[in-house]
Structure 1
Amino acid sequence: MDPIERAAEVRYTRADGLADVLRGADALFVYDFLSTAVPGAWHAADRLRWVHIASAGVDPVMFPELRASDVVLTNSRGVFDGAIAEYVLGVILAFAKDFAGSLRLQQRGEWRHRETERAAGRRVLVVGTGPIGRSIARLLRAAGLDVTGAGRRAVADDPDFGTVHASAVLADHLGHFDYVVAVAPLTEQTKGMFDAAAFAAMKPQARFVNVGRGELVVTADLIEALRAGEIAGAALDVFDTEPLPPDNPLWTMDNVLVSPHMSGDVVGWRNTLVEVFTDNFTRWCEGQPLRNVVDKQLGYVPSGGNR
């Protein structure tokens, strides 16, 4: 933050003090991207012109007053793409090679020979065709997997996915894939999109991976689908309630991999988030176009790709 501190008055605060420091502020950097404090302090934003959030997802700040205002919203799109793609490839390999089963056997000192699966040639549906979804598609294709996308609009010749299906008819396509990866932005249209009907439409051998938002999934329906054998497993990095409650059944299911919302958090990521804001602050001061401007009606940064 040093370059910004030299150029502007910077006020640091925790959530409970946000309203006090927001008065008279021109810009707000929401560094705690999971915080829900901004709506409650919005009444104090008497001259605010720009909000930047240190995440790709913007749902914590997509409340009606901000949507209706002239305040520009930007995000940190691009920081997490490669790391999340590596996470997705990692969990697919973990399922195919049964690494979790090997670790359990190792901890018991049990030598049990098994056969595992090939990852190459498996069919993957990536639901969400923004930059993170595209990075996932490119890496999985390089590893030999057959990747298709699902986004806001259908496309027949997408450069990263080949075919993109329309999310509106997602259930018609879920049954054709071995892995379904959720990385869509959280909007009114995507909230709860993976429910009992969606899981019932998948193959019993399919695995579900969520690196998008926890609220994309109806958690109770996912648990029931796993228990009933409607799907073969899940790798979950995000949840509708975080931290995941200790009594949640997902913790103890052998066919579930749980990680604490960290798929994109690699060494140095916190500094990189500040660097993105610093770059945009320089652009803002110089009157240049800002990077990663969010369409507040869509809920994400529009681009040439489908969402």
Structure 2
Amino acid sequence: MTSSISTASDTVTVLVHGSEIARLAREGFPNLRVLSAKDLTSLEDQVADADIIVGSGIDFPVQLFDKARRLRWFQSTSAGIDAILPIRDRVSDLIVTNARGIHADSIADFVMTGIGMMHWDFPRFMREQSGREWHMRPVQPISHKTLGVVGLGSIGVEIARRAKSAGMTVIGSKRDLTSPLENVDRLLPPKDIAELLRLSDFVVLAVPHLPETTKLMGREQLRQMRRGAFLINIARGSVIAESELVEELQAGTIAGALLDVFEREPLPTDSPLWTMPNVLITPHVSGYPSDYTARVFEIFGDNLQRYLEKKPLRNVVDLTRGY
């Protein structure tokens, strides 16, 4: 990527938490000053010089913002800005952009793979294979099933598209119901989540991390689901009341769960979720495609050119809403 940068932009300093994006920025914008911080110490040493910071919105040490006197723009390398939300009133004049959109295809792949595995009960097939057991059983087509998607941002919309292409009925929940969404058969407001849970064979949580989504799924909501239904969480671990989920899974309230995110990560080794036969656990990988860095830089590089040309940026986060 080649940048046409005016002489006035030579004073702009970009601080990148990570070396690979810093390398790409130096190659694409040779007239800019690009600093790379590999750890907290080097971040702290250089943050006062930064006009722009590139780092994870999930775990960036936001206490450093107090020292970032020149900071005008924070580019998150993640879709979430969990770390910034608690101090959003203090940084209301800061432009915050995220990596929204780069995860959608990868997470949709993950969700559809998980739906197939749970629907066909592949964990049971694998147990039977290890015991050299041969047990045939009929399975209803996935096209006869209903998927409920809680949260229809870019990720939820792509999941809905994939499910619809598999012939599933799709129900979705989102705040803004003014416009119908392609591939969503029925739209419901968040207050009617009980209806979505009641009608769905698979429920996918794809909401952002916000105060109102914390413990969105607890005992009450799990008991509103069908007994043969499965829960899939690719949002944040905080969206589920984990101890209540464990109890309801043990009680057979729902058929099972696919969990990629947890209240504590890594998931503690003593968590009962590890050994449950009706639970699939993955280490927060659904939104981690092999070309993740290149995808982030595609957004950041475009935004950096826009910033230098004083044009509107992509993926600007509304800090009042949190996404």
- Cα contact 2:207–2:235 (8 A) shared by 1: yes
Residue matched to 2:105: 82
**Counterpart selection for 2:260 from 230, 237, 250:** 237
Q: Structure 1 regions of 5+ residues with no counterpart?
A: 301-307
With over 3 angstroms needed to count, the CA separation of the structure-2 counterparts of 1:7 and 1:44, relative to structure 1, is same
Summarize the Cα distance change of 1:185–1:200 in structure 2 as closer, same or farther, 3 Å threshold. Answer: same
Contact 1:156 1:163 in 2 (8 A): no
**Further displaced range: 7-16 or 130-139:** 7-16
TM-score, normalised via structure 1 length: 0.92
Cα distance in 2, alignment partners of residues 191 and 149 from structure 1: 19
Which residue identity lines up with residue 35 of structure 1 in the other structure?
D
After superposition, residues 1-307 of structure 1 pair within 5 angstroms as 1-2=22-23, 4-5=25-26, 6-13=30-37, 14-30=39-55, 32-37=56-61, 39-65=62-88, 68-154=91-177, 157-300=180-323
- How far has the Cα of 1:280 moved from its partner? 1.1
Aligned pairs, how many?
298
Secondary structure of 2:194's match?
Answer: helix
TM-score, structure 2 normalization:
0.87
Matched AA of 1:25: A
Say whether the 8 Å CA contact 2:258–2:279 is kept in structure 1. yes
Give me the whole-angstrom Cα distance separating, in 2, the residues matched to 1:50 and 1:57.
16
Secondary structure of the structure 2 residue equivalent to 1:189: helix
| Cα deviation, residue 63, structure 1 | 2.6
SS at match of 2:35: coil
Shift of 1:104: 1.6
> Relative to structure 1, is the Cα distance of residues 35 and 15 closer, same or farther in structure 2, using a 3 angstrom cutoff?
farther
Aligned to 1:304: none
Amino acid across the alignment from 1:100: P
Question: Whose relative contact order is higher, 1 or 2, with alpha carbons under 8 Å and at least 6 apart?
Answer: 1
Displacement, 1:36? 4.0
Deviates more, 1:153-162 or 1:189-198: 153-162
**Distance of 1:28 and 1:280 partners within structure 2:** 12
Amino acid at match of 2:296: L
- The CA RMSD measured in Å over matched residues stands at 1.7
In structure 2, list runs of 5 or more residues that go unmatched: 1-21
Evaluate the alpha carbon distance shift between residue 215 and residue 96 of structure 1 in structure 2; reply closer, same or farther with a 3 A threshold: same
- Partner SS for 1:299: coil
Amino acid at match of 2:196: H
Cα deviation code 1:225-264 (max 9, x no counterpart) = 1011111100011111111111111111111111111112
The answer to whether the Cα contact below 8 Å between 1:153 and 1:165 also exists between their aligned partners in 2 is: no
Distance 2:86 2:271 in 1: 29
Distance 1:43 1:76 in 2: 24
| In 1, Cα distance between equivalents of 2:33 and 2:195 | 54
Query: Matches of 1:11 and 1:224 in 2, distance apart?
Result: 49
Deviations 1:149-169 (CA, angstroms, capped at 9, x unpaired): 011144583323132111123
Q: C-alpha distance in 2, partners of 1:286/1:114?
A: 62
